């Protein structure tokens, strides 16, 4: 690599502007550590006149990011637009084709188009780096690609969305309902105005698919996976979990079962005494299980300008030091495609909450229906509400196949004694 390096930043929101300022302040440190001279020669965002925290030279500002390639000689490009398609995808494609190294925090782009983009990067002998796409400032991808490169990883478990983790933690701490806590999270900047991808599990799914590919040396999965979000978690569930010495956490899990890939994202009941049960607020954590290393735990802030910028700059230093790497740690041609584990066959202990009319025979109806679908009851908690003439019934089951629980619960839609569709939360084992 040449000594004088030109850098472009495409996308100048909170992350892009923070990165710009970090680069300006740390240029000397970066140059000492890498032996390279760096210059920011281009910035792109939709609105040049928007009031920003950090001042920029309008002479290097481009409204259309594609114009940068016509007018500037770029060596390294940061893509910080977001979204899996459209201009973000186009910018990355053009850059790689022009033999420009790309650094991105865009997990949706990598999860959806990581395969062709990695192939393009390899073809043109440039880097496609995306450490910031998973778990913010936690160096989990570099740990898998480098630190644990000779280990056989068999399972990854993570709290990978700070918004969801904050909401669940705050509901427990403040005794406030989901809607109240979400509003607070939005006011604090922990949740977007439209937080759908954070709450329904899609954000975690993108990250899990990237982790799967790196951990198991596979092509990124496109299969339908087991996925639930936290939108249906009520304060009542938080309180009952507390009584059981448990907490609810939104987990992303990927593992190999019978040599098949099983990815899933859903709320889990975890023990208060466990490590994962004590990751609270906006923190993220990843647990890697492999051989011969055993269990490796990484924890830190998973989002925000600071942690994300830290990951972006670590990728920059790696490139400046001349480390041309395969984007997913292994050549594209050597990465395999493996069959998907059939999610309906997976067995898990369940927490089932029923809101019912408080009348004789209702509990018997429920247990008979469960028995019909071979769902064995481990524990029952029944709490009547005399004011509303209703009752809450919580049933903890032994391990039950997904298909059995799905079919069984669907039958309760027709039962007039059941006031709402049952809440299901899986126990973490």
What is the domain extent for residue 54? 4-129
What mean pLDDT do residues 389-393 have? 95
pLDDT-derived band of residue 319, with 50, 70 and 90 as boundaries?
very high
The reply to whether 353 and 400 lie within a common domain is yes
pLDDT-derived band of residue 14, with 50, 70 and 90 as boundaries?
confident
Domain boundary among 71, 96, 129: 129
Instruction: Answer whether 327's CB lies under 8 Å from 118's CB.
Output: yes
Is the residue at 390 inside a domain?
yes
Q: What is the DSSP track for 217-259? A: TBPPP-S--EE--STT--HHHHHHHHHTTEEEEEEEEEEEETT
Residue 51 confidence (pLDDT) above 80: no
Is the residue at 135 inside a domain?
no
pLDDT-derived band of residue 58, with 50, 70 and 90 as boundaries?
confident
| pLDDT tens, position by position, 132-146 | 999 988 999 999 999
The reply to whether 232 and 267 lie within a common domain is yes
Q: Is 150 exposed, middle or buried (0-12, 13-18, 19+ CB in 10 A)?
A: exposed
Output the pLDDT for position 350. 98
Output the pLDDT for position 121. 97
Output the pLDDT for position 375. 97
Q: What are φ and ψ of residue 312, in 5° steps?
A: -60, -40
Residue 318 confidence (pLDDT) above 80: yes
Output the pLDDT for position 148. 95
Is the residue at 388 inside a domain?
yes
The reply to whether 113 and 65 lie within a common domain is yes
Q: Would you say how long the chain is, in residues?
A: 429
Is the residue at 280 inside a domain?
yes
What mean pLDDT do residues 35-40 have? 95
Report residue 345 as tokens.
């066959």
Residue 52 confidence (pLDDT) above 80: no
DSSP 8-state secondary structure symbol assigned to residue 146: I
Is the residue at 230 inside a domain?
yes
Is the residue at 326 inside a domain?
no
The reply to whether 147 and 42 lie within a common domain is no
The reply to whether 160 and 112 lie within a common domain is no
pLDDT-derived band of residue 223, with 50, 70 and 90 as boundaries?
confident
pLDDT-derived band of residue 215, with 50, 70 and 90 as boundaries?
very high
What mean pLDDT do residues 29-42 have? 96
| Distance (Å) of CA 376 to CA 59, 85, 116, 342, 414 | 69, 46, 46, 22, 22
| pLDDT tens, position by position, 73-131 | 999 999 999 889 999 999 999 999 999 999 999 999 999 999 999 999 999 999 999 99
The reply to whether 145 and 281 lie within a common domain is yes
Return the percentage of the chain with pLDDT > 90, whole number: 87
Question: Of the segments 192-196, 243-247, 303-307, 324-328, which one has the largest average pLDDT value?
Answer: 243-247
pLDDT-derived band of residue 56, with 50, 70 and 90 as boundaries?
confident
Report residue 236 as tokens.
């009542």
Residues 6+ apart with CB under 8 A from 331: 122
The reply to whether 108 and 11 lie within a common domain is yes
Residues 6+ apart with CB under 8 A from 72: 6, 8, 41, 42
Return the percentage of the chain with pLDDT > 70, whole number: 100
The reply to whether 8 and 44 lie within a common domain is yes
Is the residue at 329 inside a domain?
no
Q: Is 207 a catalytic residue?
A: yes
The reply to whether 362 and 395 lie within a common domain is yes
Output the pLDDT for position 55. 76
CATH label of the domain that carries residue 83 = 3.40.50.720
CATH label of the domain that carries residue 166 = 3.30.360.10
Q: Which of 36, 207, 249, 343 is catalytic?
A: 207
Residues 6+ apart with CB under 8 A from 344: 401, 402, 403, 406
The reply to whether 200 and 171 lie within a common domain is yes
| pLDDT tens, position by position, 347-380 | 999 999 999 999 999 999 999 999 999 999 999 9
Is the residue at 94 inside a domain?
yes
Domain boundary among 86, 101, 129: 129
CATH label of the domain that carries residue 386 = 3.30.70.260
What mean pLDDT do residues 163-184 have? 96
The secondary structure element, H or E, covering residue 262 is: strand 260-271
Output the pLDDT for position 190. 86
The reply to whether 295 and 207 lie within a common domain is yes
The reply to whether 296 and 155 lie within a common domain is yes
Domain count, the chain: 3
Output the pLDDT for position 335. 94
Domain boundary among 129, 150, 183: 129
CA distance 401 to 349: 9
């Amino acid at each position: 690599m040449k000594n004088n390096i030109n850098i472009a930043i495409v996308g100048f929101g909170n992350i892009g502007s923070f990165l710009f300022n970090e680069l300006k302040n740390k240029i000397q440190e970066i140059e000492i550590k890498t032996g390279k001279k760096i210059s920011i020669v281009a910035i792109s965002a939709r609105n040049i006149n928007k009031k920003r925290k950090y001042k920029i030279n309008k002479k290097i500002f481009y409204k259309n990011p594609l114009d940068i390639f016509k007018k500037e000689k770029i060596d390294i490009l940061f893509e910080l637009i977001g979204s899996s398609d459209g201009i973000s995808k186009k910018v990355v494609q053009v850059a790689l084709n022009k033999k420009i190294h790309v650094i991105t925090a865009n997990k949706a782009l990598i999860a959806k188009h990581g395969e062709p983009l990695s192939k393009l990067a390899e073809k043109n002998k440039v880097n496609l780096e995306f450490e910031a796409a998973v778990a913010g400032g936690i160096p989990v991808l570099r740990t898998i690609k480098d630190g644990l490169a000779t280990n056989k990883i068999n399972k990854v478990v993570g709290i990978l969305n700070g918004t969801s983790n904050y909401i669940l933690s705050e509901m427990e701490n403040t005794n406030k309902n989901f809607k109240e806590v979400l509003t607070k999270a939005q006011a604090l900047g922990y949740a977007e105005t439209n937080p759908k991808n954070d709450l329904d599990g899609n954000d975690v799914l993108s990250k899990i698919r990237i982790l799967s590919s790196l951990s198991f040396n596979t092509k990124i999965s496109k299969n339908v996976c087991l996925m639930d979000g936290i939108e249906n978690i009520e304060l009542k569930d938080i309180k009952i979990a507390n009584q059981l010495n448990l907490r609810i956490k939104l987990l992303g899990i990927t593992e190999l079962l019978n040599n098949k890939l099983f990815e899933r994202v859903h709320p889990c009941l975890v023990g208060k005494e466990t490590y994962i049960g004590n990751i609270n607020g906006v923190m993220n954590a990843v647990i890697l299980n492999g051989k011969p290393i055993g269990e490796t735990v990484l924890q830190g802030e998973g989002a925000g300008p600071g942690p994300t910028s830290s990951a972006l700059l670590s990728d920059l230093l790696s490139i400046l030091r001349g480390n041309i790497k395969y984007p997913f740690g292994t050549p594209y041609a050597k990465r395999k495609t493996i069959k998907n584990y059939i999610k309906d066959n997976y067995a898990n202990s369940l927490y089932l909450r029923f809101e019912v009319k408080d009348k004789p025979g209702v509990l018997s109806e429920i247990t008979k229906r469960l028995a019909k679908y071979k769902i064995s009851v481990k524990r029952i908690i029944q709490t009547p509400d005399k004011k509303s003439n209703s009752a809450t019934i919580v049933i903890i089951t032994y391990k039950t196949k997904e298909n059995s629980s799905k079919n069984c619960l669907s039958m309760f839609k027709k039962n007039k004694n059941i006031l709402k569709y049952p809440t299901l939360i899986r126990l973490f084992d």
